[in-house]
């Protein structure tokens, strides 16, 4: 869904003109509820635990680095995770498709291409078909869904809803009057609610926090890596971001001591190359999600801010226990011939 930056800004501005669209939100909410009832049991459960990591609002919440951290955590426990994704922004010749190094972002989407560096990833607008394909093609024994909270054709065992702690839920209205894909009451039905915390985060009852921590600065052209506190270049930089919340990216750079000139682009922006060209010699810093689309035309002044999601031990322990319990239940069913 392509949404203008002007409309997105209006959602988060009190008393804006977005409220005029409120009558259109009411039929949207009805259609969402009807669709959920129709599709929730459309397909049988899968033989491995399925964890959906998504959100109820449009825009960035830090979901991609969170998924990467969850994959790494469960790999360390001995699991073989895989990821299914719609492949937003990609247009493949056929589906389902197993993402490989030879794939391009315009085929499979930027986030799947980034996540494929961590584990097997399959893309398909039908995530259930992608899940069946991934299980047939790999030895994965745990599946994560990249987004897809509202993709009810995919049976799920665990739902993790990710929230932008800084922006919250805007005006609290559903599309198109507000940023919500589903009403706020949907949060009560999720297994976990995780808030991407910043210095401006809002409290959310019953939620747990995580944060995105800067890992390193990486020169896109050469792959050279520099720790943020070892940076020797100009502290004034161009910050270019085609993500859900570009302002958060700029603030991350500011907390590292940079003076960031933010150039905000729409989420999943299709880069041509001129977006990284400026009439000066200042460094250009972009996100890892944007980097997978910019490698072919990056100059030597283009750097990537790599981040890592830091998760609380309480949340990880609870999630581990839930996954283990689901596996135990699956095994018991197989032994009983169910």
Which string of DSSP letters, residue by residue, matches 107-119?
HH-HHHHHHTTTS
131: pLDDT strictly greater than 70: yes
- Does 83 share its domain with 152? yes
**Would you place residue 165 in the very low, low, confident or very high pLDDT band (cuts 50, 70, 90)?**
confident
pLDDT band for 337, please (50, 70, 90 cuts): low
d(CA 38, CA 44) in angstroms, rounded, equals: 14
Which pLDDT value is given to residue 335? Answer: 65
Note whether 56 and 170 are same-domain residues. yes
Which residue, among 200, 196, 233, 230, has the nearest Cα to 215 in the 3D structure? Answer: 230
pLDDT in tens, 258-307: 999 999 998 889 999 899 999 999 999 999 999 999 988 989 999 999 99
Query: Are residues 183 and 275 part of one domain?
Result: no
Q: Per mean pLDDT, which range of 10-14, 56-60, 181-185, 327-331 is the poorest? A: 327-331
Do residue 226 and residue 191 come from a single domain? Answer: no
- Do 89 and 18 lie in one domain? The reply is yes
192 and 231 fall within a common domain: no
- Rounded to the nearest angstrom, the gap between the alpha carbon of residue 137 and the centroid of all alpha carbons in its chain is 24
* Residue 241 sits in the same domain as residue 130: no
Distance CA(41)–CA(36), nearest Å, equals: 9
**6 or 125: which leads in pLDDT:** 125
Share of the chain above pLDDT 70, in %: 95
Cβ distance 258 to 236 under 8 Å? yes
Structure confidence at residue 94 (pLDDT)? 93
Report the share of the chain in percent with pLDDT over 90: 79
With a CB cutoff of 8 Å and minimum separation 6, the contacts of 279 are: none
Same-domain status, 132 and 247: no
Strand partners, 81: 142
H helix or E strand, kind and range, residue 309: strand 302-311
Are the C-beta atoms of 18 and 10 separated by less than 8 Å?
yes
Res. 199: pLDDT tops 60: no
Tell me, yes or no, whether 184 and 221 share the same domain. no
What residues make up the domain containing 128? 5-210+311-335
- Distance between CA atoms of 57 and 163, rounded to whole angstroms? 8
Judge whether residue 29 has pLDDT over 70.
Answer: yes
Closest CA to 239 of 219, 262, 206: 262
**pLDDT tops 90 at residue 8:** no
**Mean model confidence pLDDT for the chain:** 92
Helix (H, G, I), strand (E, B) or coil at 204: coil
In the chain, the number of structural domains is: 2
Q: What is the pTM of this model?
A: 0.92
- Confidence grade of residue 204 (pLDDT, cut at 50, 70, 90): confident
- Nearest of 149, 160, 92 to residue 121 by alpha carbon: 92
Tokens of 166: 């800084």
Span 248-261, mean pLDDT?
94
Contact between residue 240 and residue 285 where contact means Cβ atoms under 8 Å apart: yes
Note the pLDDT tens digit of each residue in 99-127: 998 899 999 999 999 999 999 999 999 99
Are 220 and 132 members of one domain?
Answer: no
176 and 217 fall within a common domain:
no
**CATH code (residue 140):** 3.40.50
Q: Are residues 88 and 202 in the same domain?
A: yes
């Amino acid at each position: 869904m392509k949404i203008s930056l002007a409309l997105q800004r209006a959602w988060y501005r009190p008393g804006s003109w977005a409220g005029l669209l409120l009558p259109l939100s009411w039929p949207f909410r009805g259609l969402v509820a009807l669709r959920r009832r129709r599709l929730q049991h459309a397909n049988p459960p899968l033989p491995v635990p399925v964890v959906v990591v998504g959100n109820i609002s449009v825009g960035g919440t830090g979901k991609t680095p969170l998924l990467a951290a969850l994959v790494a955590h469960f790999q360390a426990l001995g699991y073989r995770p895989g990821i299914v994704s719609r492949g937003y922004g990609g247009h493949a010749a056929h589906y389902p498709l197993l993402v490989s190094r030879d794939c391009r972002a315009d085929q499979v989407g930027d986030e799947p291409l980034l996540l494929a560096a961590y584990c097997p990833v399959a893309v398909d607008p039908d995530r259930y078909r992608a899940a069946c394909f991934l299980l047939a093609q790999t030895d994965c024994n745990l599946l994560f869904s990249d987004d897809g909270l509202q993709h009810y054709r995919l049976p799920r065992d665990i739902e993790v809803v990710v929230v932008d702690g800084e922006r919250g839920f805007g005006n609290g209205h559903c599309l198109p009057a507000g940023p919500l894909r589903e009403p706020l009451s949907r949060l009560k039905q999720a297994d976990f609610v995780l808030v991407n915390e910043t210095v401006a985060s809002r409290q959310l009852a019953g939620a747990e926090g995580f944060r995105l921590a800067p890992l390193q600065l990486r020169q896109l052209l050469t792959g050279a890596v520099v720790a943020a506190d070892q940076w020797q270049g100009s502290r004034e930089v161009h910050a270019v971001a085609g993500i859900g919340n570009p302002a958060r990216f700029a603030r991350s750079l500011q907390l590292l001591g940079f003076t960031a000139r933010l150039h905000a682009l729409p989420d999943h922006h299709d880069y041509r190359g001129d977006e990284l060209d400026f009439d000066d010699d200042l460094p250009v810093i972009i996100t890892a999600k944007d980097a997978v689309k910019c490698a072919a035309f990056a100059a030597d002044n283009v750097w990537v801010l790599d981040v890592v999601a830091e998760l609380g031990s309480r949340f990880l322990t609870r999630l581990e226990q839930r996954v283990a319990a689901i596996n135990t239940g699956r095994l018991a069913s197989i032994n009983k011939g169910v």
